[in-house]
């Protein structure tokens, strides 16, 4: 896995970029990635991004007793990915709400072709009550700092 922070063309936001390989276990009998495995890779991307901004998911769950479940996901599968492919996941925070976070994911193959587009909605929750909570200020600040980086 590699992670880089990369400016998007419009210079109004940034994206987190990481690479995932398609393993044999990720594929269905026809040799293409079985679609639920994309969601596992998306989850890994979000976890890697949280660590990148200094808010690792392990700390949120184990120490702060908060979760960030996906409450909505909208995906378009554009082209198949195959066993052995290296996929580039480009994730951008789109909107930060009181307790929600909207993310956009675009997955590219090694040839640059788009394989999948996903809009994901996360919600900050208490693991005690399993209800939504406002983003803690330090997490909100870290997300905002990442989201608002602009081109030099």
Whether 24 maps to a domain, the answer reads yes
Whether 118 maps to a domain, the answer reads yes
**Predicted local distance difference test score (pLDDT) of residue 9:** 41
Whether 22 maps to a domain, the answer reads yes
Q: What is the mean pLDDT of residues 124-147?
A: 96
CATH number at residue 62: 3.10.129.10
59-116 pLDDT tens trace? 999 999 999 999 999 999 999 999 999 999 999 999 999 999 999 999 999 999 999 9
pLDDT of residue 152 exceeding 70: no
From the number of C-beta atoms within 10 Å of its C-beta (0-12, 13-18, 19+), residue 128 rates as exposed
Q: Which residues contact 101 (CB under 8 A, 6 or more apart)?
A: 68, 93, 95, 121, 122, 123, 124, 135, 143
Reduce the DSSP state of residue 121 to 3 states and report it. strand
Pick the more confident residue, 148 or 102: 102
Whether 59 maps to a domain, the answer reads yes
5-14 pLDDT tens trace? 454 444 445 8
Owning domain of residue 84: 3-147
Number of domains in the chain: 1
Whether 135 maps to a domain, the answer reads yes
Whether 152 maps to a domain, the answer reads no
- pTM for this model (two decimals): 0.88
18-33 pLDDT tens trace? 999 999 999 999 999 9
């Amino acid at each position: 896995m590699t992670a880089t922070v990369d400016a998007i063309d419009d210079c109004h936001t940034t994206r987190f970029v990481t690479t995932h390989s398609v393993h044999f276990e990720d594929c269905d009998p026809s040799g293409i990635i079985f679609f639920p495995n994309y969601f596992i890779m998306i989850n890994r991307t979000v976890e890697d991004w949280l660590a990148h901004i200094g808010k690792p998911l392990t700390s949120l769950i184990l120490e702060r007793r908060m979760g960030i479940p996906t409450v909505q996901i909208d995906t378009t599968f554009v082209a198949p990915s195959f066993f052995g492919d290296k996929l580039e996941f480009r994730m951008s925070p789109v909107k930060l709400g009181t307790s929600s976070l909207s993310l956009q994911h675009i997955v590219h193959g090694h040839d640059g072709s788009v394989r999948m587009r996903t809009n994901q909605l996360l919600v900050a929750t208490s693991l005690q009550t399993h209800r939504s909570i406002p983003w803690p200020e330090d997490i909100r600040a870290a997300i905002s700092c990442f989201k608002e980086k602009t081109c030099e």
